[in-house]
Structure 1
Amino acid sequence: MNPKLLFWVPAALRLGMVLAASGVVWWLLGPLAGLALALATTIVLLFVQLSYLHQLGEWLDDPHSSRLPDGWGAWTDVFARLYRLRRDDERHQEELNEWLARFRQAMHLLPEGVAIMDDVLRMEWCNPAAERHLGLTLERDKGRRVTNLIRHPEFVDYIILGRYEQPLTLAFRGRKLVVQIIPFENRRQILVTHDATETERIEAMRRDFIANASHELRTPLTVIVGFLEIALADPGLDAPTRTAHLTLMTEQAERMQRLIEDMLTLSRLESDEYLLKRERVDIAALVEGVAAEATALSRGRHRIEFVVDGPDVMGSADELRSAFANLASNAVRYTPAGGHIRLSWTRGPNDLRFEVMDDGIGIDEQHIARLTERFYRVDKSRSRETQGTGLGLAIVKHVLLRHGGKLAIRSAPGQGSVFTASLPNTSLPG
């Protein structure tokens, strides 16, 4: 039905009923009584309309669907439609609030920094990552110009020049940041920051690794190629010289083989595809085997003892043997003849520990933090003499990380060293 008819037909019927009732009273009691009834009814209806109009005005000051009156007559339809409109508006507001909450949560979890600025570079909002990257605080710095908050010459030039097509890389607050401004709408700009410090560190490690690996491989290859050229140039070399050359070539080839094997081991340990195979490890047999290998490497030059006073663990026997053997062999290489080396497996208050203690040359404190870096050597000449690859402690570190453990080092020059490989109690068999 036509909405106009829905309004006017009931109104006409109510008016007709009032006139009919007034006419009946007129006929029964006279014209004065009929007119009085009509006037009184009209006043009541007017009061009702004004009352509902007043309630509507109060509701518009604070529109909540739960406070909307029911109404009477034509007001019933008016209030019903207002109720539906208000319910739809509240539902849309709830959806908007939910999406806004999700957006804020996403912005809080985003590793990239995001700051919103107006057309005169006043900050309106920023996420926690931007606060960390740029040293900002939203509550304190909101409404302040970004160029007053970030006083870096390169950043200020970037803002002034307005060449936002390319990002800006700058060193700021001890970090390497990649910054870019993205204009949006007519009066807003987004400042996006990316912390590239870790990426740069990894890239530097990759470059250093390639350079060091190339250097380490070049030396034995140079020796081998040199002796081969001598042998080819002078086929009549005497037997002792030829034997000496072949001996040196064999040593360099073995050194190169050890280096390549260690590099492949590190690559496997760092690979996500190389999963840790947990098995029950016979610690007593493992430590005894490591001690035997250290004794063979020592060739009687050191006093080596081992103690096992702890339980077996769950883990990779091959990886743990490799880690423990690297620690033991380092002690043999860097302890002078006549020194004492002690290997022990014990249970600590909160962990399980394989400890290698020696009374060797010791290590200066400034080197300790870097010992697990690939190819890092305190004394390069001594490392070459002891046939080390420079990757042993890096292998130890990655093996322990895969087992949830860590490596601790205590040392001082001339006072020996203590290397402690600890595993968590969660490594115990169930």
Structure 2
Amino acid sequence: MSPRLIFWISNVVRIFLVLAGTALAAYFWGLVPGLIIGFLVLLTMFLIQLVYLQRLGDWLDNPSSSRLPDGSGAWTEVFSRLYKLRRGDEKNQAELTEWLARFRQAMTLLPDGVVIMDDVLFLEWCNPAAEHHLGLSLSQDKGMRVTNLVRSPEFMDYIILGRYETPLTLSFRDRKLIAHIIPFENRRQILVTHDVTESERIDMMRRDFIANASHELRTPLTVINGFLEIASLQPDLDIPTRNAHLKLMSEQGERMQRLVEDMLTLTRLESVDHLLRTEVVNMRGLLEQILQEAEALSAGRHQISLSVEGPDIKGSTDEIRSALTNLVTNAIRYTPQGGRIEICWQSVEQGAKFSVRDNGIGISPEHISRLTERFYRVDKSRSRETQGTGLGLAIVKHVLLRHNAQLFIESTPEVGSVFAVQFPGTVLHQLH
């Protein structure tokens, strides 16, 4: 039986009972008393309906499934249906709230900035990335016009022209951003910002690297090709001249080989696929080998000493040898004949420390912060004389980054330099 049919049957039965009760009262006590009793019963029923209507009105002002009023008769079915509807609404609202929280959490984690504005560019919401990119503050700037917050002529022109199909490249707050406005709904717009500062810097470094590498390779290739052309045009060169040419070509060929090897080493160190393979590094044995190589390179022109008082560490033996050898080799190349070079390995409170001290030509303060840049040279002519590739300290920097170590440089012109490497306690090898 349908609810509607039950509603009408129950109400007809109630009316019939009232009429029957009125007729019985009139039969026993007379017509007037019977009518009065019937009127009072109807008035009571009417007042009960008014009470239920008032309860319903109060509930509608603040609907909640936990405080739904009780009713009798037809009101039982009404309140039951209202309870089901309210429960469904609360469930939908809870799901929407959860999805909104998830959406905001996802927007918070996005690396790109997202700003939601109305049709007249008043700020409604933005994520932390947008706050960082554009200098906004959601708590303070909500409800304010975005064009008053982002004070940039380029951005204003982009808004005025309204050509949103093309993104805007924006230089703002010392950063380079790609901004794009996307209209959605009828009265809202989304401003998306993408920070390309780092990618631009990497692209510039790549271009500089290619340009520098090409320049460094061009010189030895020019020398070799020039001597080969002379040899082909003058096959009767005297032996001393020919030998001198061959010696210079051999030196330039070795220089190119060192340069290519260093570039390949840098590429390998920067590759995410080249994982660090840790092992126990015998520091005493390693430093003794480096000392022998240093003495061979110096050929007796310097006083070189070695002090080993530190522990073994965990890391890549080949990479650490490469980094430390570069530091020692630089000290030899930039220290005049008769100078002193002190190599030291010791335990310190923070872990272990390697240092190379010399009394060489020294470095001016303005150059120190750039020494680990690729192909950066303080004195290009002297660097070529010492057969440096300009990549040694860049290799040192990347090796130390892979071992969580730090490079410290102290230098005074015409006094000397100290290059120190601080290894953290986490890489120390503990003997059991």
**Residue in 1 that maps onto 2:379:** 379
- Output one character per residue of 1:114-157: Cα deviation in whole Å (capped at 9) or x when no partner: 22233333333322222222222233333333333233222222
2:405 aligned with 1:399: no
**Residue in 2 that maps onto 1:175:** 175
Would the aligned equivalents of 2:351 and 2:423 in 1 still touch at CA under 8 Å? yes
- Aligned-partner SS, 2:266: helix
- Aligned-partner SS, 1:166: coil
**Residue in 2 that maps onto 1:208:** 208
1:356 deviates by: 1.4
Aligned length: 430
**Residue in 2 that maps onto 1:294:** 294
**Residue in 2 that maps onto 1:138:** 138
**Residue in 2 that maps onto 1:306:** 306
1:21 deviates by: 4.5
1:381 deviates by: 0.7
One-letter amino acid matched to 2:45: L
Alpha-carbon distance in structure 1 between the residues aligned to 2:161 and 2:395: 49
- Aligned-partner SS, 1:47: helix
- Aligned-partner SS, 1:374: coil
1:276 deviates by: 0.9
Would the aligned equivalents of 2:351 and 2:428 in 1 still touch at CA under 8 Å? no
Would the aligned equivalents of 2:335 and 2:361 in 1 still touch at CA under 8 Å? yes
Identity percentage of aligned residues: 64
Would the aligned equivalents of 2:255 and 2:387 in 1 still touch at CA under 8 Å? yes
One-letter amino acid matched to 1:182: I
- Output one character per residue of 1:274-304: Cα deviation in whole Å (capped at 9) or x when no partner: 1111111111111111122112111111111
- Output one character per residue of 1:179-202: Cα deviation in whole Å (capped at 9) or x when no partner: 222222233222222211111100
**Residue in 2 that maps onto 1:327:** 327
1:28 deviates by: 5.3
- Aligned-partner SS, 1:179: strand
Alpha-carbon distance in structure 1 between the residues aligned to 2:295 and 2:376: 26
Alpha-carbon distance in structure 2 between the residues aligned to 1:79 and 1:346: 83
**Residue in 1 that maps onto 2:351:** 351
Indicate the larger mover: 401-410 or 242-251. Answer: 401-410
Alpha-carbon distance in structure 2 between the residues aligned to 1:291 and 1:259: 23
**Residue in 2 that maps onto 1:247:** 247
One-letter amino acid matched to 1:313: I
2:11 aligned with 1:11: yes
**Residue in 1 that maps onto 2:112:** 112
Alpha-carbon distance in structure 2 between the residues aligned to 1:157 and 1:310: 63
**Residue in 2 that maps onto 1:232:** 232
Would the aligned equivalents of 2:118 and 2:188 in 1 still touch at CA under 8 Å? yes
Alpha-carbon distance in structure 1 between the residues aligned to 2:426 and 2:19: 93
Would the aligned equivalents of 2:302 and 2:337 in 1 still touch at CA under 8 Å? yes
**Residue in 2 that maps onto 1:164:** 164
- Output one character per residue of 1:233-277: Cα deviation in whole Å (capped at 9) or x when no partner: 111111111111111111111111111111111111111111111
**Residue in 2 that maps onto 1:73:** 73
One-letter amino acid matched to 1:61: D
One-letter amino acid matched to 1:234: Q
Would the aligned equivalents of 2:158 and 2:168 in 1 still touch at CA under 8 Å? yes
1:352 deviates by: 2.0
Alpha-carbon distance in structure 2 between the residues aligned to 1:26 and 1:248: 138
> What is the CA RMSD across the aligned residues, in angstroms?
1.9
1:25 deviates by: 5.0
Relative to the length of structure 1, the TM-score reads: 0.95
**Residue in 2 that maps onto 1:151:** 151
Would the aligned equivalents of 2:65 and 2:87 in 1 still touch at CA under 8 Å? yes
One-letter amino acid matched to 1:349: E
1:382 deviates by: 0.8
Alpha-carbon distance in structure 1 between the residues aligned to 2:288 and 2:18: 113
Gapped regions of structure 1 (runs ≥ 5): none
Gapped regions of structure 2 (runs ≥ 5): none
Alpha-carbon distance in structure 1 between the residues aligned to 2:358 and 2:253: 30
Alpha-carbon distance in structure 1 between the residues aligned to 2:14 and 2:76: 15
1:35 deviates by: 4.3
- Aligned-partner SS, 1:260: helix
Alpha-carbon distance in structure 2 between the residues aligned to 1:4 and 1:171: 69
Would the aligned equivalents of 2:113 and 2:133 in 1 still touch at CA under 8 Å? yes
1:24 deviates by: 4.9
Alpha-carbon distance in structure 2 between the residues aligned to 1:350 and 1:26: 108
